[in-house]
Amino acid sequence: MADWQRVEGSVTAPRGFQAAGITAGLKPSGSPDLALIYSESEAIAAGVFTTSAVRAACVDYCRQRLQAKASARAILCNAGQANAATGEQGWQDAMETATLLGEALKISPDEILLASTGVIGQRMKMEAFRAGIPQVVAALDSEGGDRCAGAIITTDLVPKAIALETHIEGRPVRIGGIAKGSGMIHPNMATMLGFVTCDAAVSTTLWQEMLQRATDQSFNQITVDGDTSTNDSLIALANGQSRTTAITEPGPEATKLEAMLVEVCQYLAKAIARDGEGATCLIEVRVTGAPSDAAARKVAKTIVGSSLVKSAIFGRDPNWGRIAAAAGRADVPFDQNRLRIHLGEFKMMEAGQPLPFDRVAASDYIKAIAAQSSSTSPTGQLIQDLDHPLEITVDLGNGSGSGLAWGCDLSYDYVKINAEYTT
């Protein structure tokens, strides 16, 4: 049984954090587009970012800030313009926003981290930004987590947010998180945009290591379309407001905190995969019998990222041959004569041999998962059922390594959404 419970509040659930989300006029739609997370005290900061050679100005800005000083007080995020591939002027725009926010919050710009999302090649609308910064600061609230989550999304159908609580030294400790992402999802060392807050006291080095390991088990294991973004950023703040003893080295408290961090990151990662552009269901691939956990994760992500596998799931076609083919090209050695494949409860291959199975029933299983995942609330909002994904299990028979990956099916709507993205 998990040693934590879910609580309300997302990034404002941990003590000492406020958040806001407003409409500043950055999106043509008029939807909320400017978000702010603020820690009332200095927080240890960790970050994981895109490895793309084409990066947004905010990514380079955050990297420089965190290399100089691994702490921060605020994260400002705009939606609408990516400020990527915008040259020197894009960098100057990022610097100006940090300066303006520092003035509004009465803190140093060095204590501010930035994130952007939207169309690549477009600068931020600075006139709207200049007017919006004082407004978003004025809107800061200890219950503003949900509004913040809603202001960072673009093509997402729903905001993504969670908060968990555990106890360390008999005191409650919380981690909250929000994320955005629906397309251009194939992270390499990061997520699309993700922000995590925590009120535990933890050392700089340990917090960064925890975040990296959590990323490897969550955001690095999702894919929607195989495209890594120019803006991928995952930023985590820990401000110590729980008043627990600082966690500075591995041990029971560190293990407990990291396990909760992984749970938060995996929830947000699965929510992104389920909300993939045009998707009708969440797919979970579990690989066992690999030479190592890293190898298992690699095979799992290759399978869930296969366009052929994804298309078959959308067509409700239990074509397990595509699963076997994807596993075989993952560049992880195994003996195909030991390969075992399940789709849900349907065993399709054993010891490298195809098995007879009820194809109609297997197709109905896929249909049932998709129908369950596509339900909506009375307001028409998608209900994300993350506890009942379509399950693919592959055993390589070649070791004790295991790993998970998540993705979604590939539908006609994905092409439509992205064919018309800027028009």
Indicate if the pLDDT at residue 423 is higher than 60.
no
The mean per-residue pLDDT over the stretch 244-262 comes to 96
Write down all domains in the chain, each with its CATH number in brackets: 5-274 (3.60.70.12), 282-419 (3.10.20.340)
Q: What is the pTM of this model?
A: 0.91
Q: How many of the other CB atoms lie within 10 Å of CB of 378?
A: 5
Known catalytic residue at 99: no
Over residues 254-265, mean pLDDT: 97
DSSP code of 345? T
Q: Is the pLDDT of residue 378 over 50?
A: no
* Rounded Cα distance, 21 and 8, in Å: 17
Q: Report pLDDT for 192.
A: 78
Rounded distance between C-alpha atoms, residue 283 and residue 289, angstroms: 20
C-beta pairs of 332-338 under 8 Å, 24+ apart in sequence: 332/290, 332/291, 332/295, 332/298, 332/299, 332/396, 333/291, 333/398, 334/289, 334/290, 334/291, 334/396, 334/397, 334/398, 335/397, 335/398, 338/289, 338/395, 338/396, 338/397, 338/398
Name the catalytic one among 12, 154, 166, 191. 191
From 152, 165, 253, select the one nearest 210 (Cα to Cα): 253
Of 210, 237, 202, the C-alpha closest to 42 is: 237
Beta strands in 24-104, from DSSP E residues, in sequence order: 34-49, 71-81
Measured CA to CA in angstroms, residue 270 lies from 135, 180, 229, 294, 337 at distances of 32, 11, 18, 19, 32
pLDDT digits (tens, 9 = 90+) for 189-203: 555 799 999 999 999
Q: What is the percent of the chain with per-residue pLDDT over 90, rounded to a whole number?
A: 78
Q: What is the average pLDDT value for the chain, to the nearest integer?
A: 92
- What pLDDT shows up at residue 278? 80
The conformational region for residue 398 under phi > 0 = left, psi -120 to 50 = alpha, else beta, is: alpha
Whole-angstrom CA distances from 269 to 36, 55, 376 are 21, 21, 20
Task: Locate 42 and state its tokens.
Answer: 């200095």
User: What values do phi and psi take at 411, rounded to 5?
Assistant: -110, 170
As to burial, measured by CB atoms within 10 angstroms (0-12 exposed, 13-18 middle, 19+ buried), residue 387 is exposed
